[in-house]
Structure 1
Amino acid sequence: MGKLTTSETKVKEHHKPLYKDIVHGAGRFKTASQNSGRDSTSEQKDGEDQDTIIDSKATRKILQLAKDQQEEIESEENRFGKRVDDPFVKFQVRQQQDEDEDDFTEEYDEMKAFEGSDGEEYDGEFEGEEEYVNEEDAKLFQSYFKSEQSFPEGSFNLADKVMAKIEQLQAEAERKNEKPVDAVLLPPKVIQAYQTIGTLLTTWTHGRLPKLFKVIPTLKRWEDVLYVTNPDAWTPNVCFEATKLFVSNFGSKDATKFVHMVLLERFRASIEDSDDHKLNYHLYRSLKKSLYKPAAFFKGFLFPLVEERCSVREAIIAGSILAKVSIPALHSAAALSWLTEQDFQPATTVFIRILLEKKYALPYQTVDNLVFYFMRFRVINGQVADSVKNYYDPANKPSEIPPMPLVWHKAFLAFAQHYKNDITDDQRDFLLETIRTRGHRDIGPEIRRELLAGVPRTENTDERMEL
Structure 2
Amino acid sequence: MGKAKKLKITAQKRVSSLAEDISSQNIARPTGRNKIRTNRTEDEDSKYVHEKESRKILEQARLQQQELEEQLGTASRQAPTLGQSKADSDEEEEVPESGQDEFDETFYDDLQIDAEDERALEQFMTKNSQPRQTLADIIMAKIQEKQTEIHTQFSDTGTVLLQDIDERVVKMYEQVKIVLQRYRSGKLPKAFKILPNLRNWEQILYITDPSSWSAAAMYEATKIFSSNLKEKMAQRFYNLVLLPRVRDDISEYKKLNQHLYKALRKALFKPGAFFKGILIPLCESGNCTLREAIIFGSVLAKNSIPVLHSSAALLKIAEMDYNGANSIFLRILFEKKYALPYRVIDASVYHFLRFQRETRLLPVLWHQALLTFCQRYKEDISSEQKEALLELLKRQRHHSITAEVRRELQLSKCRDTEMIFEEIV
TM-score band by shorter chain is 0.5 to 0.7
- Equivalent runs, 1:270-419 vs 2, <5 Å: 270-274=249-253, 277-309=254-286, 310-379=288-357, 384=358, 401-419=359-377
Task: Give 1:174 deviation, angstroms.
Answer: 9.5
Distance of 2:148 and 2:202 partners within structure 1: 23
- Does the aligned pair in 2 maintain the 1:205–1:237 contact within 8 Å? yes
Match of 1:194 in 2: 173
Which one has a bigger Cα radius of gyration? 1
AA in 1 matched with 2:331: R
1:460 shift after superposition: 8.2
- Taking the aligned partners of 2:417 and 2:268, their CA distance within structure 1 comes to 35
Say which of 203, 210, 219 aligns to 1:231. Answer: 210
The AA in structure 1 aligned to 2:181 is T
1:366 aligned partner, one-letter code:
V
2-structure distance, mates of 1:305, 1:187 = 37
Alignment of 1:206-221 (within 5 A): 206-221=185-200
Provide the rounded CA distance (Å) in 1 between the counterparts of 2:167 and 2:181.
21
Matched residue type, 2:234: A
Deviation at 1:341, TM superposition (A): 1.4
Equivalent position of 1:176 in the other structure: 149
Amino acid at match of 1:314: E
| Structure 2 residue matching 1:196: 3-state secondary structure | helix
1:279-333 deviation per Cα after TM superposition (whole angstroms, max 9, x unaligned): 1100000000000000110111111111222111101110010000011111111
Give the letter for the 2:303 counterpart.
Answer: V
Greater relative contact order structure (CA < 8 Å, 6+ sep): 2
Contact kept in structure 2, 1:184 and 1:224, CA below 8 Å:
no
1:8-47 aligned within 5 A: none
Contact conserved, 1:416 with 1:450, CA < 8 A, in 2? Answer: yes
TM-score relative to the length of structure 1? 0.55
Relative to structure 1, the CA distance from residue 311 to residue 330 in structure 2 (aligned partners, 3 Å threshold; closer, same or farther) is same
Residue pair 1:424, 1:457 contacting (<8 A) in 2 also:
yes
- Confirm whether residue 448 of structure 1 aligns to residue 421 of structure 2: no
Which residue identity lines up with residue 336 of structure 1 in the other structure? Answer: L
Instruction: Give the TM-score taking structure 2 as reference length.
Output: 0.60
Match of 1:244 among 207, 223, 226: 223
- Deviation, 1:403, is 2.2
Amino acid at match of 1:318: F
In proportion to residue count, which structure has more helix?
Answer: 1
Using the TM superposition, give the Cα deviation of residue 211 of structure 1 relative to its aligned residue in structure 2, in angstroms.
0.8
SS at match of 1:304: helix
Deviation at 1:201, TM superposition (A): 0.8
Gaps of 5+ in 1: 1-172, 385-400, 462-467
Among candidates 425, 434, 437, match of residue 395 of structure 2: 437
Cα 1:419–1:279 change in 2 (3 A) is same
Q: Distance in 1 between matches of 2:209 and 2:163?
A: 13
Counterpart amino acid of residue 176 in structure 1? E
Q: Displacement, 1:402?
A: 2.8
Q: Once the 2 structures are TM-superposed, how far is the Cα of residue 185 of structure 1 from its aligned partner?
A: 3.7
> Which residue, 207, 218, 222 being the options, matches 2:201?
222
- Cα distance change of structure 1 residues 459 and 197 upon mapping to structure 2, 3 Å threshold: farther
User: Equivalent pairs: percent with the same residue?
Assistant: 44
Deviation at 1:177, TM superposition (A): 6.9
**Matching residue's letter, 1:415:** F
- C-alpha separation between the residues in 2 aligned to 1:224 and 1:237? 22
Structure 2 gaps, min length 5: 1-145, 153-159, 420-425
Is the CA contact 2:327–2:365 (under 8 Å) kept in the aligned structure 1?
yes
1:205 equivalent in structure 2? 184
Further displaced range: 445-454 or 181-190: 181-190
Do 1:375 and 1:434's aligned partners in 2 also have CA atoms closer than 8 Å? yes
Q: Aligned partners of 2:238 and 2:391: how far apart in 1?
A: 42
Partner of 2:378: 420
